[in-house]
Amino acid sequence: MEHRTINPELEADITKFEELLEAHLSGRIDDDAFRVFRLNNGVYGQRQGGHNQMVRLKLPYGNVTAEQLEVLAEVSERYSRGWGHITTRQNVQFHFVQLKRVPEMLRDLAAVGLTSREACGDTVRNVMGCHLAGACPFEVLDISPWAEATFRHFLHHPYAQRLPRKFKINFSGCATDCGQAMFNDVGVVAVGRPKENGTVEAGFRVFIGGGLGANPHPAQALEEFTAREDLLPTIEAVLRTFDHFGNRYNKLRARLKWVVDEIGIDELRRRVLRERQLLVASSSWPGGIPPIVEELGDSPAGMSSTLPVTPVGTPVTLRTSRTASPYRRWESTNVVVGVAKGTVSAVAHAPLGDVTAAQFRALAAIVRDFGVQIRATNRQNLAIRGLSAEQLPSLYQALDAMGMAAPGAELARDVVSCPGADTCNLAVTQSRGLAQDISSALEEAGLADVGGVRINISGCTNSCGQHHIADIGFHGAERRSHGRPAPGYQLLLGGHVGDTEIEFAQRALRLPAKAAAEAAVRVVARFADERIPGMSFTDWLSAAGGAKAVSKDLADLDEWPSPEERPDFYVDFAETGPYIAEVGSGECAAG
């Protein structure tokens, strides 16, 4: 890889990693101390043990340049398995990296401004933002520079290093909440408030104390309106309050959501606002409009008065036309227009969030040839922004050539999954294998193009695959039948995030892993047949009697044949031997 100049701060991180790695390998630093340091640098142990590591990179609000895409391709080939994985938090991570090679890898990444610093561990994690920010026809503000300012402020921040637990920040530019602010420690949504002179002041509504994990909690509003100049002090005040009052003795109850349970939301609000009031006395007070926001501006993209536009996440059609050309099907589902800035965006579909080295390079070529931007999405796809309408046919051809042109964004085939038992210590099932099984079953049933339904899968209860907010969610669970352990899933129905509201999915029934795809097909088929145009999955589920009523029609799927009749029911996806639920020591995924 060619020599590039590295930011001195990132070079210092890598040099320290080299020094402490050598000290650890020579026995001068014990496992516990090195594990904390390693996690704070985005390096996570895999279930394979030994020196196999997952390295997670921060992509603030999903933003990635052409040069960075090319380096991601090189890194995937030199250090990993020839592909990278987009996560539900807009990171990119690589698996099976050997521990001794991590510093070399980090230096290659730092040369193009990429860092893994604080991508894992008890830190401020990757700052997320709506992937259409600055290009969305419904946004109140472009939150991109605000997310960038937040990322810069908290990277290496003294309060962001040894928190009671991880701390997550999300931004959305409007109440549609494509950035998923409503289940995070801090969720920021751009809003407007009327002024006495008849104009509208743009600012934010800040939500606090949300989280998924095995016990999901909705985020709750801190105050009605937060002015632009007060946003960063508000976020820092929440962070400091969490640092002061979070549980440092029980990791299972250490997130900010548990502080809400312990002292109540009203008392938490009082403490945060008091902290903010006095923060001006701190040397880290970040008040005022951040310089990057002043430099880039945060005016919204604006809505079209002539073109039909729909925010991502809103049901568009019952299903795309199977008789339309492949291009027209793609255009009808994967393209969003915002007129005030003349923006046209399209989504490239990356099944399971996997992107090969060849695809990384082809995406970099698209950035350069089309003069566009690319951002990772929280549904593990890639949004291509800054297009013109005239470029869409050529873009489709380029995406089709690289295998990323399926009309999959936001349709049933767009299944989200965590890495599962392929690499994660906490997973009990191969969630990626189930995702592929569901996708194949939907394609075979002619249901992959159904719109307005989201399917998410986690390999355990911890919701890294965000099953709690999906229309159809699954989480892995060990089952026993005929005296044998077997892979199974809990089916959940009716999760929803939007309109600054959140509804967590309700439990339906438990299923054998090999019957879960049939359950998904039946639910999607019934939804497509019974709903009226414009009806959301949540509304349809309510009309159908709720999760328990719908699950009654699936009861026959929770039947276990004997191992002699169906030996495959006792072997997980992508495995060759009998199922064994091997759960290791989780380092940073749970909660």
CA nearest to 94, candidates 103, 85, 105: 85
CA nearest to 265, candidates 305, 310, 207, 211: 207
- Who has greater pLDDT, 110 or 47? 110
What does the pLDDT read at residue 306? 36
Q: What share of the chain is helix, strand, coil (3-state, %, to 5)?
A: 40, 20, 40
Residue 343: pLDDT band by 50, 70, 90 thresholds? confident
For residue 359, the SS3 value is helix
What does the pLDDT read at residue 318? 43
Residue 533's identity, in one-letter code, is P
544 Cβ contact partners less than 8 Å away, ≥ 6 residues apart: 526, 530, 550
Both structure tokens of 244: 């002061």
Listed as own residue / partner, the contacts of 541-545 with beta carbons closer than 8 Å and 24 or more positions apart are 541/471, 541/493, 541/494, 542/494
Task: Give the mean model confidence (pLDDT) for residues 255-265.
Answer: 98
Question: Which DSSP state fits 76?
Answer: H
Tens digits of residue pLDDT in 181-240: 999 999 999 999 999 999 999 999 999 999 999 899 999 999 999 999 999 999 999 999
CATH number corresponding to 8-110: 3.90.480.20
- Domain positions in the chain: 8-110, 140-296, 326-401, 416-570
Q: 416-570, what's its fold?
A: Sulfite Reductase Hemoprotein; domain 1 (3.30.413)
CA nearest to 445, candidates 381, 510, 526: 526
Judge whether residue 297 has pLDDT over 70.
yes
Q: Residue 67: which H helix or E strand, with range?
A: helix 66-79
Both structure tokens of 478: 């060990």
Q: How far apart are CA 369 and CA 460, in angstroms?
A: 42
What does the pLDDT read at residue 320? 55
Question: Regarding beta strands 472-481 and 455-458, do their DSSP bridges make them parallel or antiparallel, or are they unpaired?
Answer: parallel
351: left (phi over 0), alpha (psi -120 to 50) or beta: beta
Judge whether residue 312 has pLDDT over 50.
no
Torsion of CA 403, 408, 410, 411, to 10 degrees: -160
Tens digits of residue pLDDT in 421-442: 888 888 999 999 999 999 999 9
85 Cβ contact partners less than 8 Å away, ≥ 6 residues apart: 92, 93, 94, 95, 352, 353, 354, 355, 380, 419
Both structure tokens of 449: 């193009």
Residue 341: pLDDT band by 50, 70, 90 thresholds? low
> Whole-number mean pLDDT of the chain?
92
Tens digits of residue pLDDT in 71-107: 999 999 999 999 999 999 999 999 999 999 999 999 9
Q: Cβ-count burial of 409 within 10 angstroms (0-12 exposed, 13-18 middle, 19+ buried)? A: buried
Q: How far apart are CA 360 and CA 212, in angstroms?
A: 31
What does the pLDDT read at residue 471? 97
Question: What is the gyration radius of the CA atoms in the chain, in angstroms?
Answer: 23
What does the pLDDT read at residue 363? 98
How many C-beta neighbours within 10 Å does residue 149 have? 24
Judge whether residue 308 has pLDDT over 50.
no
Q: Cβ-count burial of 78 within 10 angstroms (0-12 exposed, 13-18 middle, 19+ buried)? A: middle
Task: Give the mean model confidence (pLDDT) for residues 372-385.
Answer: 96
Q: How far apart are CA 346 and CA 128, in angstroms?
A: 19
Q: How far apart are CA 445 and CA 10, in angstroms?
A: 50
CA nearest to 83, candidates 95, 70, 99: 95
> End-to-end CA distance of the chain, in Å?
38
Residue 5: pLDDT band by 50, 70, 90 thresholds? confident
CB distance 334 to 407 below 8 Å: yes
Q: How many residues does the chain have?
A: 591
Torsion of CA 521, 347, 109, 68, to 10 degrees: 160
CB distance 361 to 70 below 8 Å: yes
Q: How far apart are CA 64 and CA 374, in angstroms?
A: 6
Q: What is the pTM of this model?
A: 0.93
CATH number corresponding to 140-296: 3.30.413.10
What does the pLDDT read at residue 321? 62
Question: Regarding beta strands 200-208 and 186-194, do their DSSP bridges make them parallel or antiparallel, or are they unpaired?
Answer: antiparallel
Both structure tokens of 570: 């006792």
In this chain, the answer to whether the domains covering 140-296 and 416-570 adopt an identical fold is yes
How far, rounded to the nearest angstrom, does the alpha carbon of residue 383 sit from its chain's CA centroid?
14
For residue 517, the SS3 value is helix
Question: Which DSSP state fits 226?
Answer: B
